[in-house]
């Protein structure tokens, strides 16, 4: 509880009595510093949902109290809550530069760094907080948080016993703190889909006397992910009876959402479709940002009409989505989007299923979209474009998502001018449709305008939807990898992870660590990327490259062989495998890989004047030079070669 002139304001605001809190603030401000009054005004405006007004109030607090740390810390926390982690970090670092004896500032920095995934810096800040406030209760908080971070590192590496000991150390003072540590461990286990172990930890926390409502709500989430819906609902009811907390009616309605996510992740698509029928009302908002993933699961289960009905319901709510790359190849859960004999066989079979399913009438635009994607994959481009004409006849703004694969086909063909025109045409209809803006950025970079492309990514980041920002920031980070700005790229990936991003971000964050020479830091991210998608050939490639640079060519070969098996024409796979084989002295195998690299790529590295087959030493020089010139480009799509080779 706040003491002093603003105690009444704090009490009223906590109770949700905002008009009365405003009146109390006016009377309290007379006898208090101006910056403190502005801080409370900012808190009130944020509580009202008026973020612009709140930010203005916090900035006035900063101006009124330039020497005080509290306005900087409070404004940083506000920025953090808005997902603006880099801006929050800048504020806290500025505050720390002015007050190096503070305990609260490094504590706030430690929490923020941890949220951004920058664990080494988090630990350093927490140690600083513990030392600065040795006689303060905040020192205990900092020490506990440091133990929690240590536990997260152990858990990520699979060292469960060490993680358990670290968390017990964090909560060793009282049974309640021990219960809190067990709950933290349970959450970490849940994040890794270790659901039985998570349930056991929550049960232990309950026995230690932890907050019943929070434990029961956490148990309900775990049970829902396990598919035990009766137990999930029972736990939620027990949580609701024991206290307010997070046990709300809307929260209970979200339990089927957790079940659907878990079933799709496990590949149980028909069961997911059945569970989806139990989702209605406000709970639909919970899946709005990730509906393409669920659409993909329904499509993979062969339930086309259920998938299309679901998509139509989602499009009524929003024509923009976060994981929209799903629509480039919606069957990714069944077969990789990479060209392979397996994919060709799948496309031929799926095309016939689509034809039969469409015979019943209805959803002709959606069926045309599916036919177009499959036909293009089979190389039947004239038929694919005929299907696209059906898609183009649909309402342009609402169904822009169905244009994704056809815009992408232009980009894959290195038709940068056509891609730029197509993206700008879409953006004229839906100006804040970030996917087209990011593809426009890629096309500009391929056209040779790298600064212009990066500028488009910056503009796209203005998206208000935090889920969209996850994807945009991740994509922007990848583009910075291509441009060789590795430290900036790493910062973007950390920010995306802090916002909750999962798709591709760990692969590329591992790549950023690798390009910065931080090979050991690269491996955990690359491991996580492969766990999420065992067919992610770029993650195998980067991990293989990391092992090769660590002097472990035999281990590298396992990943590089896997990457090339997924796509036999994967150029960067042959670059890296040739170098791994060179390190093992297998010059014949080096020449075999070298021969599979397109001549235009070799010529761009060697220079047009050099001809003939190079010897082993020259091959190694060319391979190493190629990886260096390509910077952070390792994607298999050849249109990206134009960024480092120039336009054809």
For residue 515, how many C-alpha atoms fall within 13 Å in the half-sphere facing its CB?
26
Q: What is the mean pLDDT of residues 228-233?
A: 75
Q: For 337-351, how does the pLDDT look when each residue is reduced to its tens digit (9 = 90+)?
A: 777 788 999 999 999
Beta carbons within 8 Å of 537's beta carbon, 6+ residues apart:
336, 338, 562, 563, 566, 567, 570, 573, 636
Q: What is the mean pLDDT of residues 502-514?
A: 92
Q: For 253-295, how does the pLDDT look when each residue is reduced to its tens digit (9 = 90+)?
A: 556 666 676 666 666 667 766 666 666 655 555 566 667 877 8
Helix axes 466-482, 434-447, angle to 10 degrees: 10
Return phi, psi of residue 351, to 5°.
-60, -40
Task: Quote the pLDDT of residue 556.
Answer: 96
Q: For 234-251, how does the pLDDT look when each residue is reduced to its tens digit (9 = 90+)?
A: 776 776 565 444 444 435
Closest of 84, 73, 134 to residue 106, by C-alpha: 73
Q: What is the mean pLDDT of residues 564-578?
A: 94
């219960």: which residue's tokens?
A: 179
Dihedral of CA 331/333/335/339: which sign? positive
Say whether pLDDT at 323 is over 50: no
> Which contacts qualify for 1-4: CB closer than 8 Å, 24 or more apart?
4/32
Task: Quote the pLDDT of residue 299.
Answer: 87
**Cα distance between residue 445 and residue 390, in whole Å:** 31
Exposed e or buried b per residue across 576-605, where buried means at least 16 C-beta atoms within 10 angstroms of its C-beta: bbbbbbbbeebbebbbebbebbeeebbebb
DSSP class of residue 328 equals G
Percent of the chain with pLDDT over 90: 32
Say whether pLDDT at 489 is over 80: yes
**CA 427 to each of CA 16, 23, 433, 571: distance values in angstroms, whole numbers, following the listed order:** 41, 46, 6, 33
Task: Quote the pLDDT of residue 89.
Answer: 84
Say whether pLDDT at 211 is over 80: no
Decide: 500 and 532 in contact? Cβ < 8 Å.
no
Q: What is the mean pLDDT of residues 102-113?
A: 79
337-351, 507-521, 576-590, 626-640: least confidently modelled range: 337-351
pLDDT band at 1 (very low <50, low <70, confident <90, very high): very low
Closest of 510, 430, 497 to residue 470, by C-alpha: 497
Return phi, psi of residue 489, to 5°.
-60, -45
Q: How many CB atoms lie within 10 A of CB 637?
A: 12
Q: Please indicate whether residue 321 or residue 106 has the higher confidence score (pLDDT).
A: 106
**Cα distance between residue 353 and residue 361, in whole Å:** 14
- The answer to pTM > 0.85 is no
**Cα distance between residue 107 and residue 567, in whole Å:** 47
Say whether pLDDT at 79 is over 50: yes
Task: Quote the pLDDT of residue 226.
Answer: 78
Say whether pLDDT at 220 is over 70: yes
Task: Quote the pLDDT of residue 156.
Answer: 60
512, two tokens: 């950023």
Helix (H, G, I), strand (E, B) or coil at 327: helix
């069957």: which residue's tokens?
A: 331
Count Cβ atoms within 10 A of the Cβ of residue 56 and give its class: 0-12 exposed, 13-18 middle, 19 or more buried: middle
Decide: 473 and 496 in contact? Cβ < 8 Å.
yes
Q: For 142-171, how does the pLDDT look when each residue is reduced to its tens digit (9 = 90+)?
A: 666 666 666 666 656 566 667 667 666 665
Task: Quote the pLDDT of residue 291.
Answer: 77
Q: How many CB atoms lie within 10 A of CB 291?
A: 21
Decide: 550 and 519 in contact? Cβ < 8 Å.
yes
Decide: 594 and 578 in contact? Cβ < 8 Å.
yes
Task: Quote the pLDDT of residue 14.
Answer: 58
SS3 for 485-508, per residue?
A: CHHHHHHHHHHHHHCCCCCCHHHH
Task: Quote the pLDDT of residue 363.
Answer: 92
Q: How many CB atoms lie within 10 A of CB 29?
A: 18
DSSP class of residue 142 equals H
Task: Quote the pLDDT of residue 374.
Answer: 95
Closest of 90, 118, 119 to residue 105, by C-alpha: 90
Alpha helices in 483-570 (DSSP H): 486-498, 505-515, 519-532, 537-549, 553-566
Task: Quote the pLDDT of residue 628.
Answer: 95
Q: Please indicate whether residue 633 or residue 184 has the higher confidence score (pLDDT).
A: 633
Return phi, psi of residue 605, to 5°.
-85, -45
pLDDT band at 252 (very low <50, low <70, confident <90, very high): low
Q: How many CB atoms lie within 10 A of CB 48?
A: 12
Task: Quote the pLDDT of residue 61.
Answer: 84
Q: For 358-391, how does the pLDDT look when each residue is reduced to its tens digit (9 = 90+)?
A: 988 889 999 999 999 999 999 898 899 899 899 9
Decide: 513 and 525 in contact? Cβ < 8 Å.
yes
**Cα distance between residue 486 and residue 510, in whole Å:** 11
Decide: 328 and 321 in contact? Cβ < 8 Å.
no
Say whether pLDDT at 72 is over 50: yes
Q: Which of 63-67, 162-166, 319-323, 330-334 has the highest mean pLDDT?
A: 330-334
CA torsion 40-44-46-48 (nearest 10°) is: 180
Q: For 530-557, how does the pLDDT look when each residue is reduced to its tens digit (9 = 90+)?
A: 988 888 899 999 999 999 999 999 999 9
**Cα distance between residue 402 and residue 324, in whole Å:** 10
Say whether pLDDT at 54 is over 90: no
Task: Quote the pLDDT of residue 144.
Answer: 64
193, two tokens: 């889909």
Task: Quote the pLDDT of residue 216.
Answer: 77
**Cα distance between residue 145 and residue 122, in whole Å:** 9
**Cα distance between residue 463 and residue 215, in whole Å:** 35
């Amino acid at each position: 509880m706040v003491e002093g002139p603003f105690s009444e304001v704090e009490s009223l605001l906590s109770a949700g009595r905002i008009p009365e809190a405003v009146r109390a603030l006016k009377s309290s401000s007379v006898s208090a510093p101006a910056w403190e009054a502005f801080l409370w005004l900012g808190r009130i405006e944020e509580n009202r949902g008026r973020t612009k007004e709140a930010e203005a109030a916090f900035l006035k607090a900063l101006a009124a109290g330039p020497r005080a740390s509290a306005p900087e810390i409070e404004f940083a926390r506000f920025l953090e809550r808005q997902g603006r982690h880099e801006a929050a970090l800048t504020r806290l670092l500025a505050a720390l530069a002015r007050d190096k004896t503070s305990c609260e500032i490094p504590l706030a920095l430690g929490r923020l760094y941890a949220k951004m995934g920058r664990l080494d810096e988090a630990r350093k800040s927490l140690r600083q907080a513990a030392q600065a406030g040795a006689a303060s209760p905040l020192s205990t908080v900092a020490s506990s948080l440091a133990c929690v971070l240590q536990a997260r590192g152990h858990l990520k590496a699979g060292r469960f016993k060490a993680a358990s000991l670290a968390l017990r150390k964090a909560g060793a003072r009282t049974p309640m703190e021990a219960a809190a540590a067990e709950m933290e461990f349970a959450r970490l286990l849940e994040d890794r889909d270790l659901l039985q172990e998570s349930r056991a930890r929550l049960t232990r926390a309950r026995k230690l006397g932890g907050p019943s409502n929070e434990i029961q709500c956490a148990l309900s989430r775990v049970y829902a992910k396990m598919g035990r819906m009766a137990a999930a609902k029972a736990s939620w009811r027990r949580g609701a009876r024991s206290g307010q907390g997070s046990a709300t009616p809307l929260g209970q309605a979200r339990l089927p959402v957790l079940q659907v996510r878990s079933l799709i992740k496990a590949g149980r698509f028909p069961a997911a479709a059945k569970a989806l029928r139990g989702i209605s009302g406000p709970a639909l908002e919970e899946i709005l940002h990730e509906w393409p993933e669920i659409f993909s699961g329904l499509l993979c289960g062969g339930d086309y009409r259920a998938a299309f009905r679901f998509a139509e319901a989602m499009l009524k709510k929003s024509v923009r989505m976060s994981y929209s790359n799903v629509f480039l190849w919606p069957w990714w859960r069944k077969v990789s989007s990479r060209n392979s004999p397996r994919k060709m066989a799948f496309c031929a079979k799926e095309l016939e299923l689509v034809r039969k399913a469409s015979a019943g009438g209805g959803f002709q635009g959606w069926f045309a979209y599916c036919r177009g994607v499959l036909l293009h994959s089979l190389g039947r481009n004239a038929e694919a474009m005929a299907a696209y004409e059906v898609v183009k006849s649909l309402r342009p703004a609402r169904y822009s998502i169905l244009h994704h694969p056809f815009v992408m086909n232009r980009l894959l063909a290195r038709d940068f001018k056509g891609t730029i025109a197509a993206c700008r045409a879409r953006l004229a209809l839906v100006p804040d449709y970030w996917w087209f803006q990011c593809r426009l950025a890629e096309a500009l970079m391929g056209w040779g305008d790298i600064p212009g492309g990066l500028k488009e990514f910056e503009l796209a980041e203005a998206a208000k939807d935090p889920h969209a920002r996850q994807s945009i920031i991740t994509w922007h980070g990848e583009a910075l990898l291509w441009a060789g700005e590795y430290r900036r790229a790493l910062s973007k990936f950390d920010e995306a992870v802090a916002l909750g991003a999962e798709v591709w971000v760990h692969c590329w964050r591992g790549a950023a660590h690798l390009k910065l020479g931080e090979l050991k830091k690269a491996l955990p991210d690359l491991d996580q990327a492969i766990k999420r998608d065992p067919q992610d050939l770029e993650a195998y490639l980067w991990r293989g490259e990391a092992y090769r640079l660590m002097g472990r060519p035999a281990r590298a070969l396992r990943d590089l062989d896997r990457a090339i098996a997924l796509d036999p024409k994967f150029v960067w796979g042959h670059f890296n495998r040739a170098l791994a084989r060179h390190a093992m002295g297998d010059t014949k195998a080096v020449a075999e890989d070298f021969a599979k690299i397109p001549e235009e790529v070799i010529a761009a590295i060697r220079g047009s004047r050099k001809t003939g087959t190079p010897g082993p030493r020259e091959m190694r020089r060319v391979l190493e030079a190629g990886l260096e010139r390509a910077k952070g480009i390792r994607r298999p799509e050849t249109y990206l070669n134009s960024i480092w080779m120039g336009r054809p």
